[in-house]
Structure 1
């Protein structure tokens, strides 16, 4: 059974460097899993497409029909790749709203890779003082390497510090964490529904 990887991208534009980084991390993770003999599927969640759904959830207290399957996908994921743009030295408001509506047990113990993009390398510290503590609060298993991409990182060729090297290292850590975990049990919400014929028989 393939491992489920859910990618959360909080980019606001189309195309966005946030989504580009998310895609690179997802590809590198699936490749790393293949090398460990594991197959995987990838589901990308573009939070910008659910901005109104998230606001509705905050007001109503429950997810609408469009947002519910997104939250369920995160809860059932074998791994999560979370990527956000950095604004005002922290994750975006859109990303924080998504974190606010997640069930507090949604990613407990789930391997998570955190990553971010920003206009300057000075924002890279936000991964350690904002992103990592957020997922620690949610009790996720965040991998050691976090990936930040500033404008100058795209196309960098230094083999010791290039973005590609950091992506590969982080993806390898995530793949190893996933492969070390037992397969998550797949549940069906209708498993406990009694057979209709049996009900008629009393």
Structure 2
């Protein structure tokens, strides 16, 4: 069975250090899965390509375009997620936050997530623990122990390569955990996790609006 991860990257330029880090994380995670005899497919989501659609989603009260609907379903059905953002003003980018605000609140429940960030200075490394982990904890995702931060001078260094390999191993282990793999002896039962939803489908058991209004006279009388 081929598992699938989605890599969400919020880089704004081409080329982008954020996309470069995302590529390295995806490649390392695939390599870890291959080493375990498993196949792992990767889908990339470049947020700059849907920036205008995300802005429209926010100002129209949450009406998604067909492309956003497709991306929401893609994320909700993934076996794992890699989330990479550049750092602006000490936190994740507004574009990054807009995308995760546009997801259904249950779309990442129990999903293994690897968080990563890029910045021009190592002074911003706390963004992983002070901003990104709380965001995905709120979304009830399972964030892997190792986050990956890369300042400009880190690219090409042995230390960054080690962090990428360690984080990728942790993510691959969680994604493949239904086959008996786990991180630090912990093997979550992903099959038993709460139901995930993309927010794009109407529930079959929705109560008809007419029934909800049955007996209501249309005034404000008690």
Deviations 1:34-88 (A, max 9, x none): 1112111100000000001111111221210121111110000000000000011
Aligned to 1:4: 4
TM-score w.r.t. structure 1 length?
A: 0.87
| Aligned 1:143-162 pairs, distance under 5 A | 143-157=144-158, 162=159
- Runs of 4+ aligned residues of structure 1 deviating over 2 Å after TM superposition are 181-185
| Aligned 1:74-153 pairs, distance under 5 A | 74-153=75-154
Pair 1:33-2:30 in alignment: no
Aligned to 1:109, the other structure's residue is in SS state coil
Q: Distance in 2 between matches of 1:165 and 1:102?
A: 32
Backbone CA RMSD of aligned residues = 1.8
Q: Distance in 2 between matches of 1:15 and 1:68?
A: 27
Aligned to 2:124, the other structure's residue is in SS state helix
What's the CA shift for 1:127?
Answer: 0.5
Tell me, which stretches of 5 or more residues in structure 1 are unaligned?
Answer: 193-202
| Aligned 1:7-26 pairs, distance under 5 A | 7-26=7-26
Aligned to 2:37, the other structure's residue is in SS state coil
What's the CA shift for 1:138?
Answer: 0.2
TM-score w.r.t. structure 2 length?
A: 0.79
Aligned to 2:24, the other structure's residue is in SS state helix
Tell me, which stretches of 5 or more residues in structure 2 are unaligned?
Answer: 180-189, 196-200, 205-222
What's the CA shift for 1:134?
Answer: 0.2
Number of residue pairs aligned between Structure 1 and Structure 2: 184
